[in-house]
Structure 1
Amino acid sequence: MPDFNDLTLLPFCVGLTLLGLIGSWTAWRRRGAAAGTRGVAWSLLPVSLYLTGLLELVWDVVRSAVSWVTHLIFSPTVWAGVALFGVSVVLYVVSGVAKGRRGDTVKAPRAEKKPASPAGELTATGPAPASAAPAKAAKPAKGSKAKQQESSEFDEIEDILKRHGIN
């Protein structure tokens, strides 16, 4: 790629700016002030890049990127590196699958069984079964109909669960 040259880029940038300004004037007359103003803004960029020195920077970045891509495409060493990267990814995935199938994972020791907790209390293994409930059942007071109705509903639910073999 050719080297950056001040003498050739200045006339090139001025030419681009002049062409852009002519196009902006045409756009202003045909499509209005907004389109013309936008065209002027774009037209001034080549000369502004040249005067600030950013054009040389852009030129160097583009030249380096093209050189890198060319080196990437045509270098057997780079392709060997890409192939090794692919092999390492495949080996990593295969080792994960093999580890999962063989059971190489370290299993945590099992927790000891704890005595059953009172009915209704949640434990690590879930609520205690209804059969583990204490023998004493609290009976509602004789005068309250709401408590008796509530008790009879729980009795019905317990009977249904027993019929289905759920204790």
Structure 2
Amino acid sequence: MDQGAYLALAAALTVLGAIWTWIAFRRRGLGAGVKGLGWTLLAPAAYLTGLLRAGGRIVDAIADWAARLVFSPTVWIGFGIAALAIVLIFLARVLPTKEKPSRAARKEAGAAPSPASVSAPKTAQGPVLDDDDDDMADVNDILKKYGIS
């Protein structure tokens, strides 16, 4: 569309908005009339700022895309591939997967004594500490907890 067509569109929208504003003012009062006037003034504002032309280009681009969508086999192949991808993603949720053992299960497996450690008696219990040395007792407790003593 050229500049004259956008001017005609803006003028038509302004006239229709003015009629609507007048009807709203008469039927519902001053508040409705002022609100209608605000909406009416958006059409010439859009024309003067160039947004009416931008909106026309957007509508034109969407119409071209829709026409290509309907008549292009490559677009339909693209939609088919997208649908297949979505189906595969949701199908993967119901198929069994190889899961790692949970942290609690690994901890239980690590805490269970091995057969060699059960049969072999412990002869050395680690260094003997004085009762007054609390720091070393804490360190010794941590080492025992992790099996390093």
| In the alignment, structure 1 residue 77 sits paired with structure 2 residue 71 | no
Deviations 1:99-144 (A, max 9, x none): 33xxx33447522326xxxxxxxxxxxxxxxxxxxxxxxxxxxxxx
Residue 29 of structure 1 aligns to a residue in which SS?
helix
Partner of 1:105: 99
Residue 18 of structure 1: how far off its partner (Å):
2.1
Deviations 1:58-86 (A, max 9, x none): 11111111211222232211111111222
Residue 15 of structure 2 aligns to a residue in which SS?
helix
Residue 10 of structure 1: how far off its partner (Å):
0.9
Superposed, which structure 2 residues align to 1:50-89 within 5 Å?
Answer: 50-89=47-86
Q: How many residue pairs get matched? A: 108
Superposed, which structure 2 residues align to 1:12-161 within 5 Å?
Answer: 12-100=9-97, 104-107=98-101, 110-113=109-112
Distance in 2 separating the partners of 1:87 and 1:19: 48
Residue 22 to residue 83, structure 1, CA distance change in 2 (3 Å)? closer
Residue 111 of structure 2 aligns to a residue in which SS?
coil
Distance in 2 separating the partners of 1:66 and 1:30: 38
> Unaligned stretches of 5+ in structure 1?
115-167
Residue 60 to residue 106, structure 1, CA distance change in 2 (3 Å)? same
Q: What is the letter of the counterpart of residue 105 of structure 1?
A: E
Distance in 2 separating the partners of 1:91 and 1:10: 51
Maintained 8 Å contact 2:6/2:53: no
Higher helix share: 2
Q: What is the letter of the counterpart of residue 73 of structure 1?
A: V
Q: CA RMSD in A?
A: 2.2
> Unaligned stretches of 5+ in structure 2?
114-149
Distance in 2 separating the partners of 1:43 and 1:75: 40
Distance in 1 separating the partners of 2:12 and 2:85: 52
Residue 84 to residue 22, structure 1, CA distance change in 2 (3 Å)? closer
| In the alignment, structure 1 residue 5 sits paired with structure 2 residue 2 | yes
Distance in 2 separating the partners of 1:27 and 1:34: 9
With a CA cutoff of 8 Å and minimum separation of 6, indicate the structure with the bigger relative contact order.
2
Distance in 2 separating the partners of 1:85 and 1:16: 41
Distance in 2 separating the partners of 1:93 and 1:23: 51
TM-score (norm. length: structure 1):
0.55
